[in-house]
Amino acid sequence: MSEPLAEAFKALLVLPQTTKLYDGTVDANPTYPYVLLRADFRMVHDRSMTRAGQSYRLPARTTISALTSSAVRAAATPVVDSLEGARLVVPGWSCGTVESVPNEQHILEDFDVTDTATGKHPLYLVLDWVFVASRN
């Protein structure tokens, strides 16, 4: 992630030392619990009358994975606490607050993955986020 807005979004995440943060991809043998962050590149959200971009939207997704549903909920709490309503500070940009995007996603079991240490299928929860920013 090299785009300044995406990097600032990543910096908002305050996780306990027991939760690993992966940026974009997960290791072949991940450490549980973990949070996978995917912050997309900004896209034009609003245009001026001359069609120039005035504000930009940056969607992001956090996937929380653990070996039990209670561990998923426990790992998701600091993600929500650190992102919901937070405001990025990025030189040259005026940023709105980060908002969760309802996706009706439940905690699901990943039958395609088996933890080598426990033989269990991990569980995961997807949380979607968005914020809008404009250049100063």
Domain containing 50 — which CATH number?
3.30.2000.10
Quote the pTM value: 0.88
- Could you tell me if 83 and 129 are in contact, meaning their C-beta atoms sit under 8 angstroms apart? yes
Backbone angles phi, psi at 128, to 5 degrees: -100, 150
CA nearest neighbour of 56 among 112, 2, 136: 136
Question: How many domains would you assign to the chain?
Answer: 1
Question: Over the stretch 36-63, which tens digit does the pLDDT of each residue have?
Answer: 999 876 676 666 666 666 778 889 999 9
The parent domain of residue 34 ranges over 4-135
Mean pLDDT of 72-76: 97
